[in-house]
Amino acid sequence: MASVSLSSLCLTQNPISLSFSSIASDHLRFGSPTVEFGSVKKYRRDRAVVCRASSVVFRNLDADDFRHPLDKQNTLILRAIPGLNELGKILLGSVAEQVMLLENIGTSLLVSKDQLSGLHRLMVEAAEILNIDAPDLYVRQSPVPNAYTLAISGKKPFVVVHTSLVELLTREELQAVLAHELGHLKCDHGVWLTFANILTLGAYTIPGLGGMIAQSLEEQLFRWLRAAELTCDRAALLVAQDPKVVISVLMKLAGGCPSLADQLNVDAFLEQARSYDKASSSPVGWYIRNAQTRQLSHPLPVLRAREIDEWSRSQDYTTLLKHATQITGAKKVLTTPGR
């Protein structure tokens, strides 16, 4: 089966009709806006020797060990939809595969041991911690802070990170983002991420009942997408092993910029999340909250922050850490002059 996986870090709103770019905005346009490549210049000037960011690895980690309950529930619902897989095979062909593959490879910078080696090491370490093969990693110029994953059947999957996200985050936060994307691969989210785009787009082109089918699919698929993001935030925590690192990423995506980074407060952001829960606890607040989130592909940043804070204090997370394999290595990043 030809399958394409497309996932994104950033919150996007459900458009009237879906396209490939509805989940990872800006990544299928030929010719993206240019931004100052400050972070990559920094990697070019310096050779970063990145020591392991985690004290444990999960040698026998299974996706269901950290999968969010809502992800499990909504995946079962999707699998129960008659004909969903068959329709996806019809709508998704080799041409779409090649367009997505070549466009991403042709407009991005491949990270390797010899190119942005610090970023390469962050990816390799995150993959080792999650017990998954490391995909290729690309850096792409874009003013929109985002990261996304592409997996095509028979080909090695790859992750793309936008330059503005590299500039916005610390190395620990950036590794948490890479771990989030690895979570999609670990949990085999790819097929459903693709169907969220392809199936709905195809349904909208069918006269008569097509619009009704599309709307129904959109609601269910986007409900699943929001749940899948909660799972992948957990993957980020398994690598970072510090909830404040993951929450800081969400805070910066909500309203951060490089010039304000040193003024941001994770505890204040968590308090903001609690105030949102309180404000939406009334019947009217509950209705407004559902209306606010039902057309989003990602949960609101404050809700994601609250979820990861709660899971970091759960027995499930503690048990995973207890069964992990201890490793040695200082939690430092040493920088030496580059050539």
Which tokens hold the place of 270?
Answer: 């968590």
C-alpha distances in angstroms, 263 versus 176, 252, 266, 302, 309? 20, 11, 10, 18, 21
Q: Which of 125, 172, 173, 181 is catalytic?
A: 181
The helix/strand/coil state of 115 is strand
Q: Rounded CA gap, 93 and 198, in Å?
A: 10
The two beta strands, 4-8 and 147-152, are antiparallel
**Residue 141 near residue 35, CB atoms below 8 Å:** yes
Residue 245 burial (C-beta neighbours within 10 Å; 0-12, 13-18, 19+): buried
State the amino acid at position 10 in one-letter form.
C
Which tokens hold the place of 325?
Answer: 């394999």
Residue 171 burial (C-beta neighbours within 10 Å; 0-12, 13-18, 19+): middle
Residue written as token pair 């607040």:
285
CA proximity to 3, closest of 82, 93, 70: 93
Residue 314 burial (C-beta neighbours within 10 Å; 0-12, 13-18, 19+): exposed
Which tokens hold the place of 25?
Answer: 């905005």
Burial letters 13-45, b for 16+ CB under 10 A, else e: ebeeebebbbbbbbbbeeebeeeebebbebbee
The answer to whether residue 181 is catalytic is: yes
Alpha-helix residue ranges (DSSP H) falling in 241-282: 243-255, 266-279
Catalytic residues, which ones?
A: 181
